[in-house]
């Protein structure tokens, strides 16, 4: 441990400053049944200043989850339904001529909110997708030659439907890389679904309360940066990422023909960021290898290119990550 970092003091401070995480969880659980992983990933993205690509079948509370999170943070929420006829101006805004004022005025689009649900992002053509991705990266929008900063915090949750691939425009790999996490969610259990039925048939549908302000999230992001990460953990993260690029160097020769390209430097940055945030969510002031392993699948699954050989053998990026985690030495 680094002598200049007083781990005990840091741990106590982060335990105090992360107390709101449990409160957010309680409010979210009032409305969302199960889907603990989704709720955890939404918090990870929000506190790491990262965006989330969510893949799941219809009706799995994707819209409800981000709407509920926006309510607990007392922030503005926009839901944008991506369709083939959507234009970048429908997303970002446009210039409108006012006869009364005899000049063009800016009409801001739905992107000007804290929480954006980009529903079925792969239903819109590339020019609309790239308009959203530019806003995600630059945190600003240009309308009529004037640049407008976006609200902070700014979190995009883009959803993709794994079925009905006809008439869709899949996101290019280079653009998918801009999402910090790709989260795959599944059906609830039988007991959870029974509870969902009861809540939907009850007299009043549960609702969450606002317990935070956007300024609290910005403050928490600064605290997350203080979470201690040892050099050994940094090297562990680098080994995991480099094993996706050069599997032969990690005695994973059988993976070499399965991978067309490995994870980008963004993967290393996001693994480190997400590991720190995960430690913060778990009310800890330092990162342990288990934090890295816990978020590894969500950070890496969309950053590994699979060859035809991998597809022929029904090997997925999850199988590759599992093989790497089993081989790379844990510090």
Give me the mean pLDDT over the 57-76 stretch: 84
Asked whether residue 4 carries a pLDDT value surpassing 60, the answer given is no
> What confidence score (pLDDT) does residue 163 get?
67
Supply angle C-alpha 99, 105, 110, rounded to 5: 125
E-strand ranges in 29-120 read 52-55, 77-81, 93-98, 103-108, 115-119
Q: CATH for 20-218, among 3.10.20.30, 3.40.50.300, 3.30.70.270, 2.60.300.12? A: 3.40.50.300
- 266-to-159, 177, 271 alpha-carbon distances in Å: 21, 7, 8
- Mean pLDDT across the chain: 87
**Torsion of Cα atoms, 33 then 38 then 44 then 45, to 10°:** -120
User: Phi-psi category of 57—alpha, beta or left, where left has phi over 0 and alpha has psi -120 to 50?
Assistant: beta
Q: How many CB atoms lie within 10 A of CB 250?
A: 18
Element spanning 277, H or E: helix 265-281
E-strand ranges in the chain read 52-55, 77-81, 93-98, 103-108, 115-119, 140-143, 146-149, 155-160, 181-184, 259-261, 305-306
Beta bridge partners of 228: 286
> What confidence score (pLDDT) does residue 58 get?
79
- Per residue in 170-197, pLDDT (tens digit) is 787 777 888 999 998 888 888 988 888 8
Give me the mean pLDDT over the 128-148 stretch: 85
> What confidence score (pLDDT) does residue 165 get?
63
CA 158 vs. chain centroid, Å, equals 9
Superfamily of domain 227-327: Magnesium chelatase subunit I, C-Terminal domain (1.10.8.80)
- Measured distance CA(14)–CA(286) in Å, rounded: 9
Tokens describing residue 141: 């929008």
φ/ψ of 320, rounded to 5, equals -65, -45
State the pTM of this model.
Answer: 0.87
The answer to whether 48 touches 224, Cβ cutoff 8 Å, is yes
- Measured distance CA(309)–CA(124) in Å, rounded: 30
Same fold, 20-218 and 227-327: no
User: Phi-psi category of 59—alpha, beta or left, where left has phi over 0 and alpha has psi -120 to 50?
Assistant: left
Domain residue spans of the chain? 20-218, 227-327
Give me the mean pLDDT over the 125-140 stretch: 85
Which residue from 163, 84, 69, 70 is spatially nearest to 121, judged by alpha carbons?
Answer: 84
- Per residue in 88-119, pLDDT (tens digit) is 888 888 888 888 877 888 888 899 988 999 88
Angle, to 10 degrees, between the axis of helix 36-48 and the axis of helix 265-281? Answer: 110
pLDDT band at 144 (very low <50, low <70, confident <90, very high): confident
């Amino acid at each position: 441990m680094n002598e200049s970092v007083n781990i005990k003091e840091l741990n106590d401070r982060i335990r105090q400053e992360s107390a709101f995480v449990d409160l957010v969880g309680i409010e979210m659980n009032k409305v969302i049944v199960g889907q603990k992983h989704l709720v955890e990933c939404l918090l990870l993205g929000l506190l790491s200043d990262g965006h989330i690509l969510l893949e799941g079948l219809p009706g799995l509370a994707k819209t409800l989850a981000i709407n509920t999170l926006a309510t607990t943070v007392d922030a503005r929420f926009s839901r944008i339904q991506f369709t083939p006829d959507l234009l970048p101006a429908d997303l970002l805004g446009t210039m409108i001529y006012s006869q009364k004022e005899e000049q063009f005025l800016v009409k801001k689009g739905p992107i000007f909110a804290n929480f954006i649900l980009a529903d079925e992002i792969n239903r819109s053509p590339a020019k609309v997708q790239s308009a959203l991705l530019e806003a995600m990266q630059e945190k600003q929008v240009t309308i009529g030659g004037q640049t407008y900063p976006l609200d902070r915090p700014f979190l995009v949750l883009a959803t993709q439907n794994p079925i009905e691939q006809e008439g869709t425009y899949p996101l290019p790999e280079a653009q998918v890389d801009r999402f910090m996490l790709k989260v795959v969610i599944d059906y609830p259990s039988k007991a959870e679904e029974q509870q969902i039925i009861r809540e939907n048939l009850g007299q009043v549908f549960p609702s969450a309360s606002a317990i935070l302000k956007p300024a609290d999230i910005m403050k928490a992001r600064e605290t997350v940066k203080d979470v201690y990460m040892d050099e050994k953990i940094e090297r562990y993260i680098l080994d995991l990422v480099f094993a996706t690029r050069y599997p032969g160097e990690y005695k994973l020769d059988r993976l070499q023909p399965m991978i067309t390209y490995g994870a980008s430097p963004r993967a290393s940055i996001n693994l480190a960021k997400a590991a720190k945030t995960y430690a913060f969510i778990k009310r800890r002031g330092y990162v342990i290898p288990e934090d890295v392993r816990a978020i590894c699948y969500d950070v890496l699954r969309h950053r590994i290119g699979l060859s035809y050989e991998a597809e022929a053998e029904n090997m997925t990026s999850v199988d590759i990550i599992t093989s790497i985690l089993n081989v790379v030495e844990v510090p």
